[in-house]
Structure 1
Amino acid sequence: MSSHIVIHPVTTKAQLKSFVEVAYRLNADDPHWIPPLKSEVYALLNPKKNPFFEHAKVQLYIAEQNGIIVGRISAHIDELALAQPVEQGFGPGTGHWGLMEAANDATATALINAAEQWLKQQGMHRVIAPISLSVWDEPGLLTFGHDHSPTVMMGHHNREYQGWIEEEAYKSVKELSTYDLPIVDGFPPLIDRIVKSGERNSKLKLRKVDKSQFDREAKIIMDILNDAWSQNWGFVPLTPNEIDHVGVKLKPIVYEDLIMIAELEGKPVAFMITLPDLNDRTKGMKGSLLPFNWAKLLWWLKFPKSPTMRVPLMGVVKELQNSRVASQMAFMMVEYIRREAVANYGATRGELGWILDDNKGMVAIAEAINAKVNRVYTLYEKTI
């Protein structure tokens, strides 16, 4: 029987199912891989449900060997990423691939080659990967921290993928890190002094979000985010439809005491989002809410308890970055949410990130509260 690997573009519902299902089979023996809910995976790949497709072109591929699906990959071009300045990472001629799963190195090579060929046919001359699908979803390949499971909305990859990708002449272009920290006993005395100095600033006010005004609060946060991150490496602005989509996606795990907005003289200027670790609850569900997992999840969402909290996003408007008040706001939000997380959710640890390796401000905040890097995701670059 031939062992030749055949790459198929995904064009049918059956092939799409194979694209989704192969990840669960290939990762079944990894105790630290968290099976995503299949409904969310299908929604990610559905142009009618994911507004990323409004400004992106996507081609999915599956690999077949001896009649068995042995891998998958996505190739995609984000028009908004093409419009960004080259010095910020992306820019004209830069395409991406992601969502790669492969049974062996030969499969990985065949899949990457197929993605590169498609990108070249679309006029691309450079690849930054893996990105699955948007930079706001799961960017980077896990290259450090394979010995423990990821928190909510973070990826986990076979440790062999690094070698297979680097064998295809991909070079590291950027590292994204997450930081782990204990939160029960609070932070060093310096942080307490900074928090107290901020509390004495009469122009500064921190407030919890109001979930009854969810759309308003989401727009405030996303407007700050688009401004605060606009000069970061790899930044791609979120569109209004994407902001609405993110809001709908996050609303079930939004808790008012875990998300804060800072106002200076009545104007929103900073925010911090914290999420209880949903992965801790879904890990044993094998990607399905049937037959009774939906009830378990709904109960947890109503009365969430989680030992781990993740801070996926925080930001301060550009005009205040590197200022004293920015430092005050950041540490006040971290401390206030820490107290709520411990008291109301039973949390014992937090995770910050991801954080760009050249984001000196966020790295300094993480180090000041004694956080340690626990996972690193690498983005690779290649000229094609």
Structure 2
Amino acid sequence: MRQVSQSNIVIAPVKGKKRRAEFVDLGRQFALREPHYVPQLRSEQLELVDPDNNPFFGHATVELFIAFRDGHPVGRISAHIDHLALELPREQGMGPGTGMFGYFDAEDEEIAHALLSKASQWLRNEGMNRMLGPISLSIWEEPGLLVRGQDHSPMIMMGHHPAHYGSWMESFGLEEAKRLYTYDLNIVQEFPKLVQRIVASGERNERILIRPIDMKQWDTEIRTVLHILNDAWSDNWGFIPFTEAEIAHAAKKMKPIIKPNLNMIAELDRTPVAFMMVLPDMNEVLKRIDGKLFPFGWIKLLGWLRKPMGAGMRVPLMGVLKEFQNSRLASQLAFMMIELIRRNATADYGSERAEIGWILDDNKGMKAIAETIQSSINREYVIYEKATSES
């Protein structure tokens, strides 16, 4: 692709393993400037942009760019097309003509606009008439730009961005398409009496069983979870189903951090109908090892993985089969899983807080559950959009 120059700015595509490493390292340099940034494992970040190791590339076309000013790297961005997203209805947020951008970092507003313009131009050349982002790279990885919550560190698998990035996107002409929330929850205190009565009623119901994930049947269990997820979320804004390759990849990557007594499947008449996934916040140990496995970081990481004492807990995913949604049963199952996990997290790991999310701004059911258990919004992310012809 032809390099584009704006004044003394040159934006070049990233080609090859060495350049991808430079792309990742540039993002790490920007992240270090943020006071509450948590250093991530470099190997994991490299894998996410590697076509040979991230199954997202199996259904996507991706271009990475680095911006240079006077020969020095000053920003980066991805432009990508998820071909599964093109098949979805436009009213669900994606649809025909929708391309995406992500991995956005910039030294200043001029660089930001040059990068966004480059991504828009690339998407337009690929036949896309709309750009959506930041989404890095999959909607299941790091969607949205952090616009509230920079005053505390993110939990596992959550993006963290400086506040001024939002103003640069808006000055470029991007507009809000969707807002995502995370909710902070004190899990030491018991839930309100109403929730306790709902949980107690469910525990007396012989048709309902809340059980931990069976690690001996891990491959089967993760497929059960993702089957429920694909059904439960199928009408949600931005939903893109997991492929078989992504299911296998997720099963392999997530197994080391899964604690069975924190991850529940709800059965009705012995049939799985709902699940809740909870991950101990690995960012807490990544802080202590500065995101480095060597020379001794791996020892601390392995010790933490065995028993993550005092860890915060994140609820990244939960779902109830569509046929039961908007029913009393759906909220009852959710409260039962949350309560059982709360008990286990405090008793077994000494945990004190959890974070639920992200939750779409129009997901009334999940917002109602979050508010009923007295959690409060602590982080907000925005996904922006703009017609590529306007760039």
Give TM-score, length-normalised by structure 1. 0.98
Of 57, 62, 65, which aligns to 1:61?
Answer: 65
Q: Percent identity over the alignment?
A: 54
1:218 aligns with 2:222: yes
Conserved? CA contact 2:78–2:102, under 8 Å: yes
Of 367, 373, 391, which aligns to 1:369?
Answer: 373
Please name the residue that 1:28 is paired with.
Answer: 32
1:297 aligns with 2:301: yes
Give 2:329's aligned amino acid: V
Please name the residue that 2:144 is paired with.
Answer: 140
Please name the residue that 1:112 is paired with.
Answer: 116
How many matched pairs? 383
**Cα deviation per residue 1:254-278 (whole Å; 9 max; x = unaligned)?**
0010000000011100000011100
Of 305, 308, 312, which aligns to 2:312?
Answer: 308
Give 1:185's aligned amino acid: Q
Structure-2 change in CA distance of 1:284 and 1:101 (3 Å): farther
How big is the shift at 1:29?
2.7
1:320 aligns with 2:328: no
Give 2:283's aligned amino acid: N
Structure-2 change in CA distance of 1:112 and 1:285 (3 Å): farther
Give TM-score, length-normalised by structure 2. 0.96
Unaligned 5+ residue runs, structure 1? none
How big is the shift at 1:68?
1.5
Of 172, 179, 192, which aligns to 1:175?
Answer: 179
Q: Aligned equivalents of 2:16 and 2:239: distance in 1?
A: 33
Of 98, 102, 105, which aligns to 1:101?
Answer: 105
**Cα deviation per residue 1:80-109 (whole Å; 9 max; x = unaligned)?**
000001111100000000011111111111
Structure 1 segment 224-303 matched on structure 2, within 5 A: 224-303=228-307
How big is the shift at 1:51?
0.6
**Cα deviation per residue 1:267-309 (whole Å; 9 max; x = unaligned)?**
1000000111000110243332111111110111112113410
SS of equivalent residue, structure 1 residue 76: strand
Give 2:18's aligned amino acid: A
Structure-2 change in CA distance of 1:169 and 1:3 (3 Å): closer
Q: Aligned equivalents of 1:355 and 1:275: distance in 2?
A: 16
Q: Aligned equivalents of 2:271 and 2:30: distance in 1?
A: 49
Conserved? CA contact 2:289–2:300, under 8 Å: no
Please name the residue that 2:191 is paired with.
Answer: 187
Unaligned 5+ residue runs, structure 2? 1-5
Q: Aligned equivalents of 2:383 and 2:33: distance in 1?
A: 25
Conserved? CA contact 2:187–2:354, under 8 Å: yes
SS of equivalent residue, structure 1 residue 31: coil
Give 1:287's aligned amino acid: G
Conserved? CA contact 1:56–1:76, under 8 Å: yes
Give 1:70's aligned amino acid: V
Q: Aligned equivalents of 2:33 and 2:289: distance in 1?
A: 15
Alpha-carbon RMSD? 1.2
How big is the shift at 1:8?
0.6
